Chains A and B, each alone.
Chain A
């Protein structure tokens, strides 16, 4: 039973345009969400996070939106750059205080020059 789902395994976007990566979750007790970026043969690196008390968090070109009623979050990258080409994982944490994250299956983003 996949509690965190990324239904699009891949996405291609032209350089300079917006990339939108989506993530759905099933557990309403999740209170903290993160996005990680992963290049081949490397470990994931933290990108941006959002607490369940917010609906938006922005950091430079990256913005994460959270829709709690829909149990949906999305990552927007504007403008997209070729160096953004990687696999993006969303992750969710259970009730506050737990150290355990649950990861989605990832979306491979390809930014075309």
Chain B
């Protein structure tokens, strides 16, 4: 059963700590994305990757980092430099000429 898996579903972080959100897909999609959703706002693009070992900054990349060492995986690290990390994070993947498919998200909260 193909899909996108985000883990964990809920994550808590102490101030000053880095934390990594996992995103795995078995859809054989080339492109993967990370979005952030805040209450009353749309999905804002953090980073995206069109191919392995390559990624580009989105609209709100400051305080975040990513890697794309494997086609299936696109982890997002929320660093201590991100001043307002509490949000709902969504990962998506996309194949050629297809719409983006989303995971079920990770809700990150600061303790």
Residue from A41, A44, A99, A106 within 8 A of B102 (CB atoms): A44
Contact A105 B104 (CB under 8 A): no
Q: Which of B44, B90, B100, B104 has the most CB of A within 10 A?
A: B100
Contact A105 B90 (CB under 8 A): no
Residue from A9, A34, A100 within 8 A of B40 (CB atoms): A9
Residue from A4, A9, A46, A105 within 8 A of B100 (CB atoms): A46
Contact B48 A100 (CB under 8 A): yes
In whole angstroms, what is the CA distance A46 to B92 when docked?
Answer: 11
B13 interface residue per 8 A CB criterion: no
Chain B contacts with A in 30-88, Cβ cutoff 8 A: 31, 33, 35, 40-45, 48, 50, 58
Minimum distance in angstroms from A56 CB to a CB of chain B: 18
Interface membership of chain B positions 95-109, coded 1 if the CB is closer than 8 angstroms to chain A and 0 otherwise: 000011111110100
Contact A43 B105 (CB under 8 A): yes
B94 interface residue per 8 A CB criterion: yes
Contact residues in A for B58 (Cβ distance below 8 Å): 100
Contact B104 A46 (CB under 8 A): no
Contact residues in A for B48 (Cβ distance below 8 Å): 99-100
Residue from A9, A42, A45 within 8 A of B105 (CB atoms): A42
Contact A41 B42 (CB under 8 A): no
Minimum distance in angstroms from A41 CB to a CB of chain B: 7
Interface membership of chain A positions 92-113, coded 1 if the CB is closer than 8 angstroms to chain B and 0 otherwise: 0000000111111110000000
A residues adjacent to B (C-beta < 8 A): 4, 6, 9, 34, 36, 41-46, 49, 89, 99-106
A-B contact list, 14 entries, CB within 8 Å: A4-B42, A41-B105, A42-B105, A44-B43, A44-B90, A45-B102, A49-B99, A99-B94, A100-B45, A100-B58, A101-B100, A103-B44, A104-B42, A106-B42
B residues adjacent to A (C-beta < 8 A): 4, 6, 31, 33, 35, 40-45, 48, 50, 58, 90, 92, 94, 99-105, 107
Closest 9 CB pairs of A and B: A43-B102, A105-B42, A103-B43, A46-B99, A103-B42, A99-B31, A43-B104, A44-B102, A43-B103
